[in-house]
Every structure is written in C-alpha cells, then in structure tokens.
Amino acid sequence: MISIEEKLKEQHTKEDLCLLINVILDTTKVIDYKVNQGALSNILGATSEVNIQGETQKKLDVICNQLLKDSLKSCGLVRTIASEEEDFVVEGHSGAPYIVAFDPLDGSSNIDINGQIGTIFTIYQARNDVASNSEEQFSQAGHAQVCAGYVLYSASTMLAITTTGPTSFYTLDKNSQAYVLTTDSIELPTQTNEFSVNMANSACWSQGFNNYINDLVSSDNRRGRRFNMRWNGAMVADIHRVLSRGGIFCYPTHFDTPQPSAKLRLLYEANPMAFLIENAGGKAYTESTRILDLKPDYIHQRVAVIMGSASEVDFCLGYLD
Ligand code: AHM
Ligand code: MG
C-alpha cells in the first residue's frame, strides 16, 4: 500500500509542494467527516448569503470554504488564495512560493440529497512580477499548474491528483486516515459510448452542438452505435466517471441570454479538470480552444467545457465550426 506522501516523494516532488498538498488533503479529511455526518452535524440547507456568482450559498459551501481558507492562510506556503465562494482574492503569506484556487464544495445542489459532491483545487507558482495580493497572480495559463486535483465524497472518498506527471486515484482509508494509491497512471480510453450533458439545456445550445447530441442518440448515427447518457449534476462526479472508464463531459455555451454565456469557472473548475484529463491521455477544449492555453481575465471567468476521451472530443469539435 502506497500513501500519497510516499508517492509524491517517489516522484521527487519538491518538499514545500508536498507540504502544501498535505495541508489541502488534511483539510479534505475534516470536510469528509462533516459530509459523512450530514444532518447529524446540522450542516445541511442554505444560508441567507448569495455569492458573487449570484448563487445562494449552502451551509456546507461556507463551512468548507472557511476550513480551506484557514488552513491555507496559516500554513505559510500560500501567497494568494482564490475561491468560488470569495468575491475577491484572499491574502495569504507575503513572499510564499505558491498560489491556490479551489471550489470548496462542487455540486452544491447534491448536498441535501446525499448525492456526490467534491472539492476541486489547483496550485500554481506565485508570480513575482505582480502584486502579492492581486487577481493577476492567477492570470496564468492552465498548463502552468504545478498540481491539480479533486476529492470526491461518495461511497468511498477518493482523490484524483496530478503534479504534472500522470493522473492517479487514491482512496481514503478511514481507519488510518491515509490516502492510499488505488489506480496508478490512469489511461483514458480514446473511444467511448457514454456522454454527460444536462439535456434540459438543449434549447439554449448552438445548432452545431444540438446536431452532435442528436447524432449520438439517433439509431442510425454516424458511428453505428448508440450512446448512453449519465449526468450526476456535480462536475467532480461526472469527471470521475470519465477518468474511471472514459466518456465525454460537456457544458457548452448558452445562447438564450443577450450575450452568449457559460456556466463552469475556468480557474477552479475547468483548468484543474483539464489538467487531470490531459495527464490521463484525454483532451479538454472550450468550443474552439485548448482549455489549458487560456489565462483567466478575472478569477470567476466562465468557459464552455468539452472534455474526455480524445477521439470523442475531436468528433464533437467537428460539429462546432
Ligand atoms: P457549483 O460549483 O455551484 O456546484 O456549480 C457547478 C456545478 C457543476 O458541478 C455541474 O457540472 C454543474 O454545476 C451542474 O449544473 P446544472 O445541473 O445546474 O446544469
Ligand atoms: Mg463547482
């Protein structure tokens, strides 16, 4: 049995990065305990607060955000912090080597139904050419991530992580409280017959994207096989399935608003997931660009997302010219 600490050492990960990853993972163990307790620890339901995304915060969103913020601020390794639940960047320790962005609890609408939820995180080297406590710290292309990962709180609690090398899965052993390596170097199948999209949004999609989905579900589609659909409503759970057995996950642009709009956030949702997917041999695009080539203009910027098995992503993009 190899723990995450042992594996990071084996991969010659820098010591301060190992320490920072451990700070984040230790916090996810506290979150895991609270998630498991559910109604018993009075953490279900909504607050009266609305975040900068215009979404009502759940109690657990606020608790998890505070836990991660506190541990990152006090560890001395993080210069600046960005979170889905914080309007602006949060000051860390000046001169510290890293910056961290996270979605403390992805899939908030699943909290109260005992559904799958997760924590997504990404780590970059801090920039010395811009102010410590500025949004520009995060204006870095996704391929500059030094570590990306998520923890999925589900039947088992699992970690997917990459530190520029391969993506691997670890399972939290609740007895020893260690994340133990359970799948080393994931290789995503290039082909799939499973797609993941919120079909209820089809009236908002482009004609090209509608044509792609119609083709997947029609009995005489261009590849001679019908596709199955899976949608958990939590990106972390849907991407976990894709990493586990292949598939394509899409959250395309919506055209029902005065300006075309997207739902998922580049910095702490699309970029870390794109890094995990690419380092497992998959592809991750907006409708036109490789996600990891994008630099966020602001920390809560949203982008369209098409990611998963490489051939399927190519096939989908072929409909979107
Ligand atoms: P959240 O971070 O507030 O939970 O929102 C992001 C979530 C993703 O996890 C998921 O893919 C998407 O929103 C689901 O949206 P919907 O089912 O409303 O289309
Ligand atoms: Mg989210």
Q: Which CATH number does the domain housing residue 205 bear?
A: 3.40.190.80
State how far the alpha carbon of 198 is from the alpha carbons of 113, 181, 204, 213, 214, in Å.
Answer: 18, 32, 11, 11, 14
HSE-CB of 82 using CA atoms within 13 angstroms: 27
State how far the alpha carbon of 186 is from the alpha carbons of 118, 168, 245, 257, in Å.
Answer: 19, 6, 10, 39
pLDDT above 80: residue 295: yes
Is 189 within the bounds of a domain?
no
pLDDT computed for residue 227 by the predictor? 93
Domains in the chain: how many in total? 2
pLDDT computed for residue 205 by the predictor? 98
What would the pLDDT profile of 115-174 be if each residue is shown by its tens digit?
999 999 999 999 999 999 999 999 999 999 999 999 999 999 999 999 989 999 999 999
Share of the chain above pLDDT 90, in %: 87
Is 168 within the bounds of a domain?
yes
The residue that leads in pLDDT, 321 or 235, is: 235
Where a domain ends, among 129, 160, 183?
A: 183
Mutation test residue for ligand 1: of 113, 263, 268, the one with most atoms within 8 Å of CB: 263
C-beta 118 within 6 A of ligand 1: no
Q: Length of the chain in residues, anyone?
A: 321
Please tell me the distance between residue 93's alpha carbon and the centre of ligand 1 in angstroms: 31
C-beta 115 within 6 A of ligand 1: no
C-beta 8 within 6 A of ligand 1: no
Min mean pLDDT across 97-111, 213-227, 242-256 is at 213-227
pLDDT above 80: residue 55: no
pLDDT computed for residue 50 by the predictor? 80
pLDDT computed for residue 45 by the predictor? 78
Alpha-carbon torsion 257, 260, 261, 262, what sign?
Answer: positive
Q: What are phi and psi of 265, to 5 degrees?
A: -90, 135
Q: Is 264 left (phi over 0), alpha (psi -120 to 50) or beta?
A: beta
Residue whose CA lies nearest to ligand 1 atom number 3: 108
Q: Same structural domain for residues 167 and 120?
A: yes
Q: Same structural domain for residues 222 and 311?
A: yes
Mean pLDDT of the region 235-264: 96
Beta strands 78-83 and 90-91 are antiparallel
Q: Which atom of ligand 1 is nearest to the CA of 53?
A: 3
Beta strands 168-173 and 157-162 are antiparallel
Residue 290 — very low, low, confident or very high, per pLDDT cuts 50/70/90? very high
Residue 288 — very low, low, confident or very high, per pLDDT cuts 50/70/90? very high
Mean pLDDT of the region 24-38: 95
Determine the 3-state secondary structure of 16 from DSSP.
Answer: helix
Please tell me the distance between residue 115's alpha carbon and the centre of ligand 2 in angstroms: 14
State how far the alpha carbon of 212 is from the alpha carbons of 192, 215, 257, 303, 320, in Å.
Answer: 14, 5, 22, 19, 9
Is 188 within the bounds of a domain?
no
Q: Same structural domain for residues 231 and 300?
A: yes
* Residue 10, marked binder: no
* Residue 107, marked binder: yes
C-beta 239 within 6 A of ligand 1: no
Min mean pLDDT across 85-94, 219-228, 278-287 is at 219-228
Burial status of residue 95 (CB atoms within 10 A of its CB: 0-12, 13-18, 19 or more): exposed
The whole-angstrom distance between residue 209's C-alpha and the CA centroid of its chain comes to 23
Q: Same structural domain for residues 28 and 127?
A: yes
Mean pLDDT of the region 243-266: 96
Is 123 within the bounds of a domain?
yes
Q: Same structural domain for residues 94 and 211?
A: no
Query: Nearest ligand, CA of residue 204?
Result: 1
pLDDT above 90: residue 219: no
Residue 312 — very low, low, confident or very high, per pLDDT cuts 50/70/90? very high
Q: Same structural domain for residues 244 and 124?
A: no
pLDDT above 80: residue 47: no
Q: What are the structure tokens assigned to 131, written together?
A: 């102010």
pLDDT above 80: residue 197: yes
C-alpha span between 213 and 310 (Å, rounded): 17
Q: What are the structure tokens assigned to 57, written together?
A: 């915060």
For the full predicted model, state whether its pTM sits above 0.90. yes
C-alpha span between 236 and 299 (Å, rounded): 19
Query: Nearest ligand, CA of residue 51?
Result: 1
